[in-house]
Amino acid sequence: MIVVPVELGSRRYEVVVGDGARHELKRVLPAAARRAAIVTQPGIGVEVDPGVDHRVFLMGDGEEAKSLPTVEGLCRSFARWGLTRGDVVVAVGGGVVTDTAGFAAAVYHRGVPVVHVATTLLGQVDAAIGGKTGVNLVEGKNLVGAFWQPAAVLCDTEVLATLPPRERRSGQGEMAKYRFLGVDDLLALPIHEQVAACVRAKAAVVAADEHEGASGRRATLNYGHTLAHALETAGGYGLRHGEAVAVGLVFAAELAARLGRIDAERVAEHRAVVGAYDLPTSLPAGADPAELVRLFARDKKAVAGITFVLDGPRGVEVVPDVPAAAITAAFRSLSDGSDGQCR
């Protein structure tokens, strides 16, 4: 097993990565917990044993289940069972589960400990790490949430063997992002080392900027996500989250080039990294740039005009008040006749 600490002082916790990591649940459970509410989805099929009295609570599948009604339903079920602040929520699943169950844990009794057992590649390299929890509104992704750090995260790479190829590629969209945040090429590494490298990168950022402070460092983890979230809010166009992030990375590179921040060679590198994972690099068919621009204004980073995370001479950083002409030109570069879909 590889253990990566997330250094947050007295709230320090471990991310355990490796085959069979889910079996570490008893060890990492808060010592005072008498009962565990296990939140998962019907199709996950990953069983865990917390070693204490427990009950399974099912939530729906898909992004539509990542909602305030789901959080209310979970909290009411916790209350009927008698879950207390001294117990624990265990989220078993991908990012939809860890985001939603983590938010329910954050608001139930004003905060109940949560442990994440991440079962997808996307969840293991990104969603389950760092304490961001939240749900979607019709108006946008992740607009309601809370920072609520887990007591521990278990990334069991053994369960990735059964992931459908497209679900794996979705996780690789987030992995591609880390290449531009200072992580070396991951493709030659065994999967547990790939996951651990991404976790280390995210843990370092979270430890330095837990709540997206003035430094803007944590916001760099949203590289590629401004367009990705807009695409998902607009209807998804058949893209999974990591696929939308892949398109967003290429768009961000094209936009940065039009602002004079990077050169054509760096744009080509973005396209090559995304392409190496067999991920889309073009806007999906039917995407409406005007609608996407409207959605950019609702992005959580948009405090001074339309705001993006962009590459540049100082690396990836937050860039506010991006001019509309540059955005339009970047959109044209992605509308090359490809349908933007994964094979």
How far apart CA 169 and CA 108 sit, in angstroms, is: 34
Residue 340 has pLDDT above 50, yes or no: no
Give the lowest-confidence range in 76-80, 172-176, 213-217, 315-319: 213-217
| Nearest CA-CA partner of 279 in 252, 315, 240 | 240
97: exposed, middle or buried (Cβ count in 10 Å: 0-12, 13-18, 19+): buried
Residue 277 has pLDDT above 80, yes or no: yes
Percent of the chain with pLDDT over 90: 84
pLDDT of residue 337: 41
pLDDT of residue 67: 97
pLDDT of residue 238: 84
Is 202 assigned a catalytic role? yes
How far apart CA 205 and CA 132 sit, in angstroms, is: 13
pTM for this structure? 0.90
Question: Which among 66, 179, 200, 241 is annotated as catalytic?
Answer: 241
Question: Which among 22, 66, 169, 229 is annotated as catalytic?
Answer: 229
Question: Which among 179, 225, 261, 301 is annotated as catalytic?
Answer: 225
Residue 155 has pLDDT above 90, yes or no: yes
Is 241 assigned a catalytic role? yes
- Domains in the chain (CATH in brackets) are 2-163 (3.40.50.1970), 212-334 (1.20.1090.10)
Question: Which among 174, 210, 232, 317 is annotated as catalytic?
Answer: 174
Is 229 assigned a catalytic role? yes
Q: Which residues are paired to 4 by β-bridges?
A: 15
Task: Give the model confidence (pLDDT) of 56-73 as tens digits.
Answer: 999 999 889 999 999 999
pLDDT of residue 343: 36
Give the lowest-confidence range in 18-27, 187-196, 290-299: 290-299
Residue 109 has pLDDT above 70, yes or no: yes
Residue 246 has pLDDT above 50, yes or no: yes
Helices 241-258 & 225-234 angle (0-180, nearest 10): 130
Q: Which residues are paired to 232 by β-bridges?
A: none
Q: Which long-range contacts (CB under 8 A, 24 or more apart) does 188-196 make?
A: 191/157, 191/160, 192/2, 192/17, 192/18, 192/19, 192/157, 193/2, 194/125, 195/17, 195/121, 195/124, 195/125, 195/155, 195/157, 196/2, 196/4, 196/17
Question: Which residue has better confidence, 36 or 301?
Answer: 36
**Do the Cβ atoms of 101 and 89 come closer than 8 Å?**
yes
Give the residue-averaged pLDDT of 191-211: 95
Give the residue-averaged pLDDT of 160-183: 93
**Cβ atoms within 10 Å, residue 335:** 13
From residue 301, how far is each of 68, 89, 116, 214, 319 by CA, in Å? 22, 30, 26, 12, 10
Is 142 assigned a catalytic role? no
Residue 271 has pLDDT above 60, yes or no: yes
How far apart CA 93 and CA 134 sit, in angstroms, is: 15
**Do the Cβ atoms of 93 and 22 come closer than 8 Å?**
no
Task: Give the model confidence (pLDDT) of 314-324 as tens digits.
Answer: 999 999 999 99
pLDDT band at 91 (very low <50, low <70, confident <90, very high): very high
Beta-carbon contacts of residue 48 (< 8 Å; ≥ 6 apart): 22, 25, 38, 90, 92, 117
How far apart CA 207 and CA 12 sit, in angstroms, is: 9
Give the residue-averaged pLDDT of 226-240: 89
pLDDT band at 339 (very low <50, low <70, confident <90, very high): very low
Question: Which among 158, 167, 193, 212 is annotated as catalytic?
Answer: 212
